[in-house]
Each structure stands twice: as C-alpha cells, then as structure tokens.
Amino acid sequence: MPDSFNTLSHPGGRRLKLAIVNGILVTQNRNRQILRDNLLVEDGVITKVGKFRDRVDDTLDATDCIVMPGLINCHTHVSMALMRGMADDLKLEQFLEKTFSIDALRTPEDIEIGAELGCIEMARSGTTCFLDLYYSQDVIARAVERVGLRGYLGWAVLDEEHTTQKGKPLANCERFVKEYADSTLVNPVVAPQGVYVCSDDTLMAAKDIASRAGTFCHYHLSETRREVYDYVRQKGLRPVEHLEKIGFLSKGDVAAHCVWLTVNELKALARGGVSAAHCPTSNMKLASGGVAPLPEMFDEGICVCLGTDGCSSNNSLDMFQEMKTAALLQKSSRWDASVMPAQKTLDIATIGAARALGAEREIGSLEPGKRADIVVVDGRNPAMTPTRLDNIVANLVYAGPSKAVRDTIIDGRFVLRDRQIVCVDEERIVDGAASAVNRLLSV
C-alpha cells in the first residue's frame, strides 16, 4: 500500500479538512466561471471557493493545474473491464454470442475483481461517478465502496425465461435496492435490460420497484436498427411509442444509446422526463449504424449525458476520450464544426450528467455545499500545453487529458494522489484480473 495511505485517502476513514490551493478552477457553475482560486473541503463537502484562512489537516498544491468536477459516466458495465479485447472486430451478432458465452462463465469473484479494475481505470482517468447496468450489483457494490467511487448501480431486470441469474431478477433487484438504500457511495437503481427481453409486466413491475424506493430506471433503448424494427413487427409500434402507451416512461429515468429515434419519439422522451445517455464509441465500434440525434434532443429539452458502455464494446472507460469522440462524431456527421462545442460537451459529462442522475444539487460542479468529487489535471503535461484561460475547456475536451490526471478526490477522500492509487492495492487487482482472464479463456 502506498505511503500516502491515510484517513483522507481511505474510503472508510474520517474525512478531514483539505485545502486545494493555487489551481485554475473550472467550476461548471451556472455561469461556467473559470477562476484562479482555492477550494476548501470539509467533511466531504466543498465549503468555500476563494480565499480563506482556515486551519486545515492537509493542503494540495494545484499550481499550474486544472481543478474540475469529476466526470460522470452515465452508462457502463464496470465489471466487464475484465472482458477488454475479448470480442473485437466482430459483427454484432458474433460479438454478442462471444460476449455472452464468456460472461456466463464468470464467478462472483471474477465480477468483483473486474469491478475493482474498472473503478481504478475510471479514477485514473478523471471519472468520480458512474451509472452501471448489470446483475450481481451486490458484489459490484463491495468493489465500489472498497475503491471509493460513487456508483449508481442498476440491477438488471428481465423476464425469467431470458435470465441466467439465480433466483428471480425482480426479487433480486428489489432486495438489492433495499439493502443499499442508506449507503453513502452506492445508489441503487432499477435496470430493465431492454424491451427485447422485458415483457410489459416486467417493465411495469420494475417501474413500481423504482417508484416505491425513490430511485429511477436505467435501460438500453433503440441502440440498433434491428432492435427497433424487430419490435415494430412484434408490437406494431416503435419502442418509445409503446413505452409511452403503457405508461412506463418516468421522470428521472436514464435511457442508454437512443440512436434510432424519430422526432415524435424524442418528444415522447421529453414529455416523460427521460434523459438520454449517449455512447458514441461503443455504437461506432459495433457498427450499429446511425448517429444519436443530439442537436434534436437539445432542442426538445431532453437532458443528455454521456457513457462509455462496457469494455467489451469500447475497450476503455476513459470519459475524456468519450467527450472528444462525442463532439467529433456530431461535427462530422452534421458537416458543422460548431454543432457540438467544447463547453456543451463538458456540460453533458459533468453538470448535465448530474442532472440526469437527479444529483445536480450534490455533484457535477465546484460550488459550496456540493460533495467534494474533484479531479486535478496537470496543466504542464505536454498533452495539455499550452493551457490558457481562453482554451482550457477546449483542451479538456479535445487534448486527451486523461494522461494528465494527477489527483482524484471522491466524497472528500483521495482515491488517486500524485498519480498513485491510495485506497486499494492496485498491483493486487491487476494481477488478480489477469489471472481471472487466463482462467476464463482456458475453459
């Protein structure tokens, strides 16, 4: 364990008073202020932005660094970090067949080590919070709390004839939601897999669990053209049309992908208060075709956020990379370099993402009263040079800052400090992940 392991860096330790000084603050507040100033963190909360003389327990010098809110990954399957590079360059049907066959072999230990690996990757690349969709979220929750990330964990719900889960998915989900209702870092979510494996009864039962628990539903939606047209043949309506008809769409839900949508479906999502998690890298790598209609989503008032999807389809959980891909895809497909500006792109990965999770009062910006989910990026890293006040947001989106992330603080505690993971034994996790993969591939 690194020498800097202490109560400020231990997920279960006492939060102390921390000063972050001399940095350039990309606040992401209402006015999107960029300040040369200091931050004070007390008991996991940002209490002051500006000058202060408070006595502190620890000081982080951010000279020549960018201090920003942590990025929020609004759609992933974190434990599939273990499956990186296992199903590349395959057509979608072959990809799914191979992915499902390997995934079916995984033990709870494999899922846990995969989740730890994914959490470390995200912490190293500036992500402090993520929204996950998977089964065995109780196992994943242990990894999330151990590493110290903030996780919105959605237990996968689907019809019993389609599942490999032990027990009934709805009952499993409800039990998980109750078990973690009072956790600090784990926020339980209900996650209907998608319309292709969920009957109307399953969808409405999932909605009921979420409503009674005060949480939301997260699901895949209109990811591929085939998914949409198969559903039209089955139901006579497109997925969003049918979901609105049965009363499933609910304020606060987060739908992942949302590529193959009509204008009328966008209006239905807006009426329902459903956010859209855009996953450009995964959609491009799987050659799903089409480009999610982000400008039209913005026009309809849909809250747009950003996700990496899992490592089996993306190979990376790097949200800085995802921001750049999202911006460039919209620019290229619309033949308009101004259509997705850097500031708008940063918004959907920070404060916009927090709004999608219903957490904009807690995270997503650097403001007094918000939880201290903070990332420090080294502005003197060659990849970030030159960084000036007038190009700082563009550099964060286009320059590839993940290689320059120096410190990651979540809920007031260090997870990464001076480029060292300080909350868990990183070497143990990497070695354990490699061993698990070798075992899976040898079966």
User: Which homologous superfamily does the CATH classification assign to the domain defined by 71-356?
Assistant: Metal-dependent hydrolases (3.20.20.140)
pLDDT value at residue 124? 98
Q: What per-residue confidence (pLDDT) applies to 289? A: 80
Residue 14's pLDDT band (cuts 50, 70, 90): low
What pLDDT sits at residue 95?
87
Which amino acid appears at position 197 of this protein?
A: V
Pairing of strands 186-192, 218-221: unpaired
pLDDT band at 351 (very low <50, low <70, confident <90, very high): very high
Q: Does the pLDDT of residue 265 top 70, yes or no?
A: yes
What's the rounded mean pLDDT across residues 209-227?
96
Percent of the chain clearing pLDDT 70 (strictly above):
96
Residue 212 has pLDDT above 80, yes or no: yes
The reply to whether 71-356 shares the fold of 18-70+366-426 is no
Model pLDDT, residue 1? 37
Print burial letters for 164-178: b (CB count within 10 Å at least 16), e (below 16).
ebeeebbebbbebbe
pLDDT, residue 2, reads 38
Q: Give percent helix, percent strand, percent coil of the chain, each to the nearest 5.
A: 40, 20, 40
Q: Where are the domains of the chain?
A: 18-70+366-426, 71-356
- Length, in residues, of the chain: 443
Helix (H) or strand (E) run with residue 433 in it: helix 426-442
Average pLDDT for residues 108-135, to the nearest whole number?
97
pLDDT at 5 over 50: no
pLDDT at 7: 47
Question: Cβ(8)–Cβ(58) under 8 Å?
Answer: yes
319, 323, 340, 344: which is closest to 331 by C-alpha? 340
Question: Mean pLDDT, to the nearest integer, of 75-99?
Answer: 89
**The pLDDT value given to residue 417:** 97
> In b/e form, how buried is each residue of 255-272, taking b as 16+ CB within 10 angstroms?
bbbbbbbeeebbbbbbeb
User: Which residue shows structure tokens 């006595």?
Assistant: 55
The CATH number assigned to the domain with range 18-70+366-426 reads 2.30.40.10
How far apart are alpha carbons 174 and 179 in whole angstroms? 9
How many whole angstroms separate alpha carbon 13 and alpha carbon 184?
13
What are the pLDDT digits (tens) for 309-336? 999 999 999 999 999 999 999 999 999 9
- The reported pTM is 0.96
Give me the mean pLDDT over the 277-284 stretch. 96
Q: Where are the beta strands (DSSP E) in 319-433?
A: 374-378, 405-410, 413-417, 420-421
